[in-house]
Amino acid sequence: MTSPKRLGYSFFLKIKVIIERGEDGYFVAHCPALRSCWSQGKTREEALQNIREAIELYLEPAPSELIADENREIVELV
């Protein structure tokens, strides 16, 4: 990606994405830093939009992970 993507959190994250042409003519995008984070699209732009969404979903914590108690503190990095 050429510029950092705002992820809905209080920080920006710059992630490298690889785009290749698939055998079926679609553009296939994946993020090597996030294992199993793949997407595709009919156009390069569509593949980039789809991988952005896949990355956001990949990084989104489960609600059960965000419950603070006496043994767990939730800290947000900026």
Alpha-helical segments (H) within 1-78: 44-59
Residue 24 included in any domain: yes
Amino acid type, 44: R
Q: The domain containing residue 48 runs over which residues?
A: 5-61
The pLDDT value recorded for residue 56 is 92
Query: In total, how many domains does the chain have?
Result: 1
pTM as predicted: 0.71
Residue with more model confidence, 8 or 65: 65
Report which residue type is found at 12. F
**Listed residue (59, 19, 21) closest to 38, CA to CA:** 19
Instruction: List, for residues 7-44, the tens digit of each pLDDT value.
Output: 454 567 789 999 999 999 999 999 999 999 999 999 99
* 3-class DSSP assignment, residue 5: strand
Residue 75: inside a domain, yes or no?
no
Region 59-63 average pLDDT: 89
Tell me the CB-side half-sphere exposure of residue 64, using CA atoms within 13 A.
Answer: 0
Is the pLDDT assigned to residue 2 strictly greater than 70?
no
Does pLDDT of 52 surpass 50? yes
